[in-house]
């Protein structure tokens, strides 16, 4: 009987310990290392995306203040090939999951520099589509997912406020033409946009704040 009691006590203790560990995910979760994120970004990404994530070239997106969940998702999909881009697919191969999380966390702490629209007429059309969509062609308002001020939502919907117009237009066109296939919803929306609407949305987004 004494042996059975001892075994029961041991099993109970093990179960209790297991439950305690399961109830402490926060303690087990590894926090991103911002210093490592900055160092890796500087070594691998800064040449194109700017020292603080504010790219000076309209060809490369601004990454500062972007949602870390979204950045990790994109980097992972570049690495796996789900999102096709020869340069980024190559650059992401050397990044571990921790590297991606560190970079993304550091970038999210940096403020994005505001942009501006270049064409009043185009920007006015872009605003109309961004805020109200195009009902007769079943194009939804961009603000519904990316928020009225372009702040976006973590993971799925990126921050668009102040993004380079050239980059936004390139991505919308890539979605529309089937060259970018890592978001079905965006592919379906972009498929309904004509060239002028793509440029209008891109110009409006550039000045959104």
- Cβ neighbourhood burial of 171 (10 Å; 0-12, 13-18, 19+): buried
pLDDT at 155: 73
pLDDT, residue 41, reads 98
Q: Which tokens in the block code for residue 111?
A: 């403020």
178 in the Ramachandran plot: left (φ > 0), alpha (ψ -120 to 50) or beta?
Answer: left
d(CA 49, CA 177): 25
| pLDDT tens, N- to C-terminus, the chain (209 residues) | 444 444 344 434 344 444 444 454 544 578 999 999 999 999 999 999 999 999 999 999 999 999 999 999 999 999 999 999 999 999 999 999 999 999 999 999 999 999 999 999 999 999 999 999 999 999 999 999 999 999 998 878 999 999 999 999 999 999 999 999 999 999 999 999 999 999 999 999 999 99
Residue span(s) of the chain under CATH 1.10.760.10 come to 34-108, 120-206
Q: Which CATH architecture has domain 34-108?
A: Orthogonal Bundle (1.10)
3-class SS of residue 153: strand
The pLDDT of residue 144: 95
Out of 1.10.760.10, 3.30.70.370, 1.10.3720.10, 1.10.580.10, the CATH code matching 120-206 is: 1.10.760.10
In this prediction the pTM is 0.85
**Cβ proximity of 32 and 75 under 8 Å:** no
* Closest-CA residue to 66 (of 87, 45, 89, 81): 45
């Amino acid at each position: 009987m004494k042996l059975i009691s001892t075994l029961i006590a041991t099993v109970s203790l093990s179960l209790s310990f297991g439950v305690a560990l399961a109830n402490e995910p926060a303690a087990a979760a590894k926090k991103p290392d911002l210093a490592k994120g900055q160092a890796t970004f500087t070594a691998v990404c800064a040449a194109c995306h700017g020292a603080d994530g504010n790219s000076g070239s309209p060809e490369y997106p601004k990454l500062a203040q972007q949602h870390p969940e979204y950045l990790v998702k994109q980097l992972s999909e570049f690495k796996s090939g789900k999102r096709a881009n020869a340069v980024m697919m190559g650059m992401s191969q050397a990044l571990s999951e921790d590297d991606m999380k560190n970079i993304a966390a550091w970038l999210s702490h940096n403020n994005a520099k505001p942009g501006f629209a270049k064409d009043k007429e185009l920007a006015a059309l872009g605003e109309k589509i961004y805020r109200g969509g195009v009902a007769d062609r079943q194009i939804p308002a961009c603000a519904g997912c990316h928020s009225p001020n372009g702040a976006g939502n973590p993971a799925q919907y990126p921050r668009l406020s102040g993004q380079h117009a050239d980059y936004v237009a390139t991505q919308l066109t890539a979605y529309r033409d089937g060259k970018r296939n890592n978001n079905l919803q965006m592919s379906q929306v972009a498929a309904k946009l004509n060239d002028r609407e793509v440029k209008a949305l891109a110009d409006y987004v550039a000045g959104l704040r």
